[in-house]
Structure formats: C-alpha cells, structure tokens
Amino acid sequence: MQIVRDTNTASRLSQLWRLHNLRIALVPTMGFLHEGHLSLIRLAKRHADRVMVSIFVNPTQFGPNEDLASYPRDFARDEQLCRQEGVDAVFYPTPATMYADDHSTWVNEDSLSSGLCGASRPGHFRGVCTVVLKLFNISGCHLAVFGRKDAQQALIIQRMVRDLNIPVQLLLAPLVREKDGLALSSRNNYLSPDERQNALSIYRGLQEADAKYKAGCRDAEQLIEILRRHISGAGGKIDYISVVSQDSLQAVNRIDSPALLALAAYFGKTRLIDNIFLD
C-alpha cells in the first residue's frame, strides 16, 4: 500500500494506473476510520481495480467556531485499517499541498446547500464541493464512493457532478450504525458515556417516526414531533429536524413523493447528524 503525501505524486500514480487501463475508485474521508468508512472501501473494491482512500481534515469546510483543531486524528490506526482492507493507496496530504496561500477558486452549489446543515454551517458545502472536486482531479478516479450518513452532502455532490459534467461515477453506500443504533461517526469519539447513552434517543425517534410513516402517516409535522420528543426528552439540543423532498431538499408538509427525514442535534458540545429515507 502506498502512502502519498503530495498532489503531484498522487496524480502520477493515477496516471500510471490509467495507462494500465485500471479502473480507479476514490473514497474521500477525514480519517479516524470506522466501520462506516470501511463499508465504503469494500464497496469501492468491488467496483474498481485500484482503490485510493483520501484522509484529509479539510479546513475550508469548518466554520471559525467549529472543531477543526480538535477533530479526532489517528493516522497510524487509519493506515493499519486501510492495509487490512487491501487499499492500494492512501492520499494523506498536508493542508499546504492542498491549498496554495492565495487559493481563490471555489465551487458553490447554490440550491441544495441552502437548507439543513447548510443553514447551520455557512460555507460548509462550498468547502466540501471544492475539496471533493480537487480530490477527483488529483486522484483521476473513475468512480467515487460516498455514504448516505451525510445524505445532503451526497445529493450535493451528485448535483455538482451533473451540473459540471464531471466524468466520475458516484456510488452511494448505506448508513452504518452501531449495534444499538447510533450512526457511526468519527465525532462519536467526543461523547461522554452519558451523552452517548442519551444520543440513542435519535435512533429511537427515527425508528418510531419510520414505523408511523410505514403505518400510513404522511404528515411531516407529526414525524418531526416524534423525534423532537425523543431528543429533547433525552437532553439533546436540536439544531434542525426536517422532512425534505429527496430531489430538491425543500421542506415538505405532506409526504407524497420520496422524502428524507434529517436532523442535527447536540449532545453536550457534540453535533450529531442522522437521517432516514422515507420512500
């Protein structure tokens, strides 16, 4: 497994692979890998001849008061996990190799980015789209894998790929949960044992809302109220809970086409996101 730390070496490697007609998959991550990430890597391996995993805590997608400095990092462990999964290359760039001091070009998706996490984290998706397009270009990938855990992000990347005619195929992987239902996230590492226990209210709320939807309820507010009750009852501070159309990410009152029930909530200082698809 190769570990590549600068953009030119990564590009040369992908050019070599392409010369040999090998199909390249990219799995972009911010590291501190868990089973959710590993499921993306396994999916990538099934669809490509070479898999490159990028590990980069991208500064441009963090707001000034967010957790860029404290974001969990453990490259030695990530490297080990990538080896075990049979990854071909890990792209582990420094911020300096990714962003010139006078970097001034950005990718803005203007519609899907405005609500949900985009409303609470101004500039977040501009940073995400910009770094993802850079990673596509550097890795020369034919396909890239994203998780439905970040449902809004996945839809925005799909839109960017379509709108900018980017020749990369996207694969979306299902959300992976702990046995007790908590969505796997590198940020779970911040939770105290009590906070972690309280955060299970998210999954309980999602399950109850899902059951209500499956029983025929199509009223978004009723589903939102179920979640609100669970999360607030467990001491969580709600950032947003929304039912949105899967195409436009616009809020809907009545669910008569495929929708997404998505939320962000704080347990202690930790902001968690989760979602289920209603379709």
Stretch that binds ligand AMP, among 16-24, 35-43, 110-118, 200-208 (CB under 6 A): 35-43
| Binding residue count for ligand AMP, defined by CB under 6 A | 17
Catalytic residue check, 37: yes
Stretch that binds ligand AMP, among 5-13, 18-26, 31-39, 78-86 (CB under 6 A): 31-39
Measured CA to CA, the distance from residue 32 to residue 189 in angstroms comes to: 9
How is residue 123 written in tokens? 């500039």
Closest distance between ligand AMP and the C-beta of residue 142, in Å?
Answer: 17
Measured CA to CA, the distance from residue 36 to residue 260 in angstroms comes to: 20
Contact positions with ligand AMP (CB under 6 A) in 1-30 = 29-30
Measured in degrees and rounded to the nearest 5, phi and psi for residue 160 equal: -60, -45
Measured CA to CA, the distance from residue 195 to residue 269 in angstroms comes to: 10
Which is catalytic among the residues 37, 124, 142, 230?
A: 37
Could you tell me which residues are beta bridge partners of residue 266?
A: 237, 271
CB closer to ligand AMP, 41 vs 226: 41
- Alpha-carbon distances of 226 from 206, 229, 257, rounded to whole Å: 8, 5, 21
Residues 6+ apart with CB under 8 A from 150: 273
Instruction: Determine the Cα angle at 13 with ends 8 and 19, to 5°.
Output: 125
Please pick, from the candidates 98, 116, 138, 176, the single residue that binds ligand AMP as defined by CB under 6 A: 176
Residue 91 binding ligand AMP, by CB under 6 A: no
Contact positions with ligand AMP (CB under 6 A) in 37-56 = 37, 39-40
Contact positions with ligand AMP (CB under 6 A) in 138-167 = 146-147, 149-150
CB closer to ligand AMP, 31 vs 140: 31
CB closer to ligand AMP, 40 vs 87: 40
CB closer to ligand AMP, 173 vs 220: 173
Q: How many helices (H) and strands (E) does the chain have?
A: 9, 9
Contact positions with ligand AMP (CB under 6 A) in 179-198 = 183-186
Residues 6+ apart with CB under 8 A from 189: 32, 72
Which are the catalytic amino acids? Answer: 37
Instruction: Name the residues that contact ligand AMP, by CB under 6 A.
Output: 29-30, 36-37, 39-40, 146-147, 149-150, 173, 175-176, 183-186
